[in-house]
Amino acid sequence: MDWHFYFQLASLSVIVIYTILVFRNVDPLIATAIGVALGFLFNLSTPLEMGKILESSLGSFLALVGFIIMLGRGLGEVLTETKVSHTLVHKIVYSIGVNTQTRVKIGVVISSTVIVAILGTLAGGLAILAPILRPIASSVGLSRPSLAVLMQAAGEEALIIGPFAPPVVALLGVTGLTYGTMLTHASLPIVAVTLIVTWIMAGKLQRQYPQELFNYAEDAEQFTPTKRQSRATIFFALAFAACVVYGLMYKAKTSYVIFVMLSLAISTGIVGGLKLTRIFELIVDGMKKNFHLFVIFILLGPMLDLVQSAGGFDALLKVFEPLQRMGGKSILSILIGLTGAFGMPAASAAVIKMLYQMFSPSVIALQLSATTFAFSMLLATRITNFAIPGANMFAAMGFAESSNIKAMIKNGLMVTMIQIIFLVLYSVIF
């Protein structure tokens, strides 16, 4: 190994520095911009080359995902204005019944999963859910920490179930798997393990912190949908299902999601009684709130591509070669999962793209199955948010009106440990 190899390996410092900056709560946009600048330095890029790279990033896959995330936020604004999201929660929770803690916990998990999967955002989904769920949790004595961990776990796993959620869109885009195959071989096993562990932990936290209860009055005002809101909700549910079925039948590509988001927002808004001008105002307002994410995604693509062109990923694979030869497919699958889990706490779509770029040559060489590759990448994105206290964890805690960070970390570490064990077992078996 000569100096050229070490220079290539040193280019991975771009990701290391980016990770450190994010861990130290530097604004993600600034951290990403610094990463791109470092990538240009390692590639000795000229100003003309920089311009071309940034130009091409506007048409990249990550930019498309970022645009879809913006549209998803716009759709969320329409669903909130028409109270479709609220009505969905109401129907789910009250159809189960809210007279016992167990039934309320089931309602919390199902409603959180459905709403976050539809909206594609954990914070946005829980913001809609929380005002409805808190009084219900209060009525059966469900503690704040228990509600918080259930909301986080259901929300995290919803992001790998929703057909138009960013991690799902990214994974299907890079692997070429069908949505159904991804569900059965990757998403659903991860969801099952995570929710089972969190359900057990929620029971333990309920016993450990029985005094941390809500103090809502029994006659607290609860949301009751009107006929128009119920009608709009039924229309949205049917239209959403139709879009999913159509996409599966014709094997729609990622770009199809753009049509889905816009058509659902416009049609649901009209059925919900909104004027067309108001609908587009809501869509644009929602997109504005996620514009910073769009810019981050535009920059993340070049950052990863620059590391790849500098030879960083190739050098890392050479370092991993002895381990891969020793353990073959199993070790490779484990390396993929652990590298993504603790290597770059960023947007899930970006992590998936990074892992695909980094490991796809080895995956092809060792003939690792596409489903196992997808499983490892997807699980990596879930481990990150449970192992490291971050935005999603604090969002769930805040919406549950809990200040018990210790309880959140307890659940996070337990889920992380079981997920890593599951990663190892899955890798060895499959």
Distance CA 131, CA 119 (A): 17
Q: Which amino acid is at 300?
A: L
Interval 225-264: pLDDT, tens: 899 999 999 999 899 889 888 887 887 777 888 898 899 9
Instruction: Using CB atoms within 10 Å of the CB of residue 309, give its burial: 0 to 12 exposed, 13 to 18 middle, 19+ buried.
Output: middle
Interval 101-133: pLDDT, tens: 999 999 999 989 998 888 787 877 887 788 778
On the question of pLDDT at 66 being above 90, the answer is: no
What residues contact 319, with CB distance under 8 A and at least 6 apart?
9
Interval 177-227: pLDDT, tens: 999 999 999 999 999 999 999 999 999 999 999 888 877 654 445 678 899
Percent share of the chain, pLDDT over 90 = 38
Q: Say whether pTM exceeds 0.75.
A: yes
The chain-wide mean pLDDT, for the chain, equals: 86
DSSP labels, 315-340? HHHHHHHHHHHHHHHHHHHHHHHHHH
On the question of pLDDT at 15 being above 60, the answer is: yes
Lowest mean pLDDT among 212-226, 276-290, 296-310: 212-226
pLDDT of res. 430: 79
C-alpha to C-alpha distances, 276 to 14, 32, 259, nearest whole angstrom: 46, 37, 17
Distance CA 90, CA 93 (A): 5
pLDDT of res. 203: 95
pLDDT of res. 268: 95
